[in-house]
Amino acid sequence: MQNTATARTEVMIVEDTSASLELLCELLTQAGYAVRPAPEGAMALRSAQAKPPELILLDIRMPGIDGFEVCRRLKADARTRDIPVIFLSALRDESDTLRGFALGAVDFIAKPYRPEEVLARVRTHAELRRLQSGLEERVKERTAQLLEAQTRLLESQGRLQELAGFLQNVREEERTHIARELHDELGQTLTSLRIDLGWLRGKCEKQGAAVVDRANGAYALVERTIDALRRISEGLRPGMLDVLGLAAAVEHHVTQFEERNGISCSLAMNREEFAIDGELATAIFRLIQEALTNVLRHAAASQLCVSIDEEDACIRVGIEDDGHGFQPAQNKKTFGLLGMQERVKMLGGSITISSEPGAGCRIEASFPKRGDNEQ
């Protein structure tokens, strides 16, 4: 009964002696292999290049192109280099054996042929070839699957980054809207109320000390409410950023931060104003705002330095404090740090956070510079 595994295996036999060629062809055919005879080297090369077999039995001593040269050419050709080659030889010289293996042969079959040995060696290397081919096919499939998964992952990351950018813009627009509503509507109403209370306070002087005290208390309460409203509005969206630009907004924010929190702050900018679009200006302001908030909450710093430097192709931002620092490799990332990193990344920039316990922290960000008309 023909073995189904061997039936799928085609063996080329390259042998110039007709009797040996017929013997091997009959032996392998009866064992269930598909046999392709080639009586000389040149024919074997053309046949193998046209349609590569699964295995080649190759005689060494042949007229014209000998087996060593045939093997060398097979291994030099991308179409045939992976075909297992078994040399057929009556030679017993160890140097010939070493030369054959050096050329890429996988085995030797000695003449005169012993049928059991021929079949055993052919079966072994045919099976190895099938296993290798199957493994290579699995590797190709898995590589294709991994590439496809990587492509989908990159696409998902791109969509998530676009969504994050969209949500960031929506949030910024909403904060701007709320800040303007607070400033324009509620702020003006409270200001009018303060004016009216000031007028009433003057009229209440004749009504006794208790009435004057109540009027003064109400006036002070409105004053505090207006101050709180101003701080909330500025925290949501600093009006200076839209009216006077990034430099003035950052200077105002750093000054207010120093006054309110008692942390000595220095600010260095190489421009009186920066020629950048509104989105980039907002991102830089928010980066500095978030960094200062983190310093206040976690650093226990006494000094803080902020710098903004505009160059030809980019704008660089640095925030450095003398606080207790942390170990970035071991420290759990906070939403503040992640938010800063994502904000910079969305605009195509880069950010590094350097810190050591007891040595403070330095944040350096670089943004590609964009003009007012770029989107």
pLDDT classification of 1: cutoffs 50, 70, 90: very low
| CA 29/CA 366 separation, integer angstroms | 73
Residue 174 covered by a domain? yes
Same domain, 312 and 373: yes
282-341: pLDDT as tens digits: 888 888 988 898 888 888 899 999 999 998 889 999 999 998 887 665 545 566 677 778
The shares of helix, strand and coil residues in the chain, as percent rounded to the nearest 5, are: 60, 15, 25
Note down the domain range covering 201.
151-237
Range of lowest pLDDT (12-16, 24-28, 46-50, 157-161): 157-161
Domain boundary at 213, 237, 261, which? 237
Residue 277 covered by a domain? yes
Q: Report CA torsion sign: 53, 59, 63, 66.
A: positive
Q: Is the peptide bond before 52 cis (omega within 30 degrees of 0)?
A: no
Number of H helices, E strands in the chain: 12, 10
pLDDT classification of 221: cutoffs 50, 70, 90: confident
Domain boundary at 237, 271, 286, which? 237
CB atoms within 10 A of CB 137: 10
| CA 263/CA 319 separation, integer angstroms | 14
pLDDT at 128 over 70: yes
Q: What is the mean pLDDT of residues 266-280?
A: 88
Q: What is the mean pLDDT of residues 125-153?
A: 88
Q: What is the percentage of the chain residues whose pLDDT exceeds 90?
A: 35
pLDDT at 175 over 90: no
pLDDT at 167 over 90: no
According to the model, what pLDDT value does residue 169 have? Answer: 66
Same domain, 196 and 311: no
pLDDT at 46 over 80: yes
According to the model, what pLDDT value does residue 355 have? Answer: 85
User: SS3 of 33, please?
Assistant: coil
Q: What is the mean pLDDT of residues 126-150?
A: 88
| CA 343/CA 346 separation, integer angstroms | 5
According to the model, what pLDDT value does residue 238 have? Answer: 67
Residue 126 covered by a domain? no
According to the model, what pLDDT value does residue 85 have? Answer: 95
Domain boundary at 113, 128, 161, which? 113
Range of lowest pLDDT (119-123, 150-154, 342-346, 353-357): 342-346
142-166: pLDDT as tens digits: 988 899 888 888 888 777 766 666 6
Residue type, 206: K
Question: Domain with 320 in it: what CATH number?
Answer: 3.30.565.10
Mean pLDDT of the chain: 83
According to the model, what pLDDT value does residue 42 have? Answer: 93
According to the model, what pLDDT value does residue 4 have? Answer: 47
Phi, psi of 97, rounded to the nearest 5 degrees: -65, -45
How many structural domains does the chain have?
3
pLDDT classification of 133: cutoffs 50, 70, 90: confident
According to the model, what pLDDT value does residue 80 have? Answer: 93
234-255: pLDDT as tens digits: 666 666 677 788 898 899 889 9
**Residue whose token pair is 């949500």:** 167
Tokens of 143: 């590589």
60-111: pLDDT as tens digits: 989 889 999 999 999 999 999 999 999 998 767 788 888 989 999 999 998 8
According to the model, what pLDDT value does residue 130 have? Answer: 86
Residue 123 covered by a domain? no
**Residue whose token pair is 């101050």:** 227
Same domain, 23 and 61: yes
Residue 129 covered by a domain? no
